[in-house]
Amino acid sequence: MNAATHEPLRALLFDLDDTLWPITPVIERAETLLFDWLSEQVPQVTAHYTIAAMRARRAELMATTPRFRVDLWALRHAALHEAFVACDADTRRIDEAMDIFTTARNEVTLFDDVLECLPRLAGRVILGSLTNGAADLRQIGLNHHFSVSLAAHEIGRAKPDPVVFHAACEALALPPSQVAYVGDDLRLDVEGAQQAGLRGLWMNRHGAAKPASQAHIEPDASLASLHELEQWLHLQSTNS
């Protein structure tokens, strides 16, 4: 547990990817659907680029261009534009390609506890979301549970930068001391939140051990499900 003193909890901020749904199968499917579309509609691109090659190029662009670490949609668009130009393909079709990917990227399979627990949690405290990713809660169908939904590309910074956590708290009209952040990543979500003055809750759905490099991070709570989050929240209310 974090030893910091906090005021009564009034809001929960959620990470999205790997907290409310598993993200790896979503991205793999979206990239496959995009590649299949490109193979049919713009075959000169897939004749020269594999999914793995495009992924590697995006990693290079992210390493050399800071804004792409914040705006993943722009990163993917830029990599496609580069490939289209290199293959002398019609760049006017890039937006079509991005629509294929974006639609599939928002076709997620929620963890089993999400639809059951979110309404109950929203009945107890204010809920918000804060993500480094590009998920669209409106398309996913969860937006009505959240009073505030922010993404790194809207703020211009990414977790674990305290600026993004403070921006979310400002949107909630609450001080960080009255907000907890729930996420699966110890460094980005837990430590990042704590350094910004929030409580950091580790959503450790699969019982993973802490990496040695992150052994120093002490979550305010370690949780395996949203059911456990409900129990933790009840304890906070009875102890406050």
Express each pLDDT in 46-91 by its tens digit. Answer: 999 999 999 999 999 999 999 999 999 999 999 999 999 999 999 9
Written as six digits, the tokens of 229 are 């989050």
Residue 8 confidence (pLDDT): 93
Residue 98 confidence (pLDDT): 98
> In CATH, what is the architecture of 11-22+109-239?
3-Layer(aba) Sandwich (3.40)
Residue 240 confidence (pLDDT): 62
Q: 61 and 78 in contact (C-beta within 8 Å)?
A: yes
Residue 3 confidence (pLDDT): 41
Residue 238 confidence (pLDDT): 79
Rounded Cα distance, 119 and 226, in Å? 11
Domain 24-105 in the same topology as domain 11-22+109-239 = no
Give the domain ranges of the chain. Answer: 11-22+109-239, 24-105
- Average pLDDT for runs of 10 along the chain of length 240: 67 98 98 98 97 97 95 96 97 97 98 98 98 96 97 96 98 98 98 98 97 96 98 86
Specify the DSSP class assigned to residue 21.
Answer: B
Largest Cα separation within the chain, whole Å, is: 65
Rounded Cα distance, 42 and 182, in Å? 41
Angle at alpha carbon of residue 76, lines to 72 and 79, rounded to 5°? 135
> Where does 24-105 sit in CATH, by number?
1.20.120.1600
What is the reported pTM? 0.93
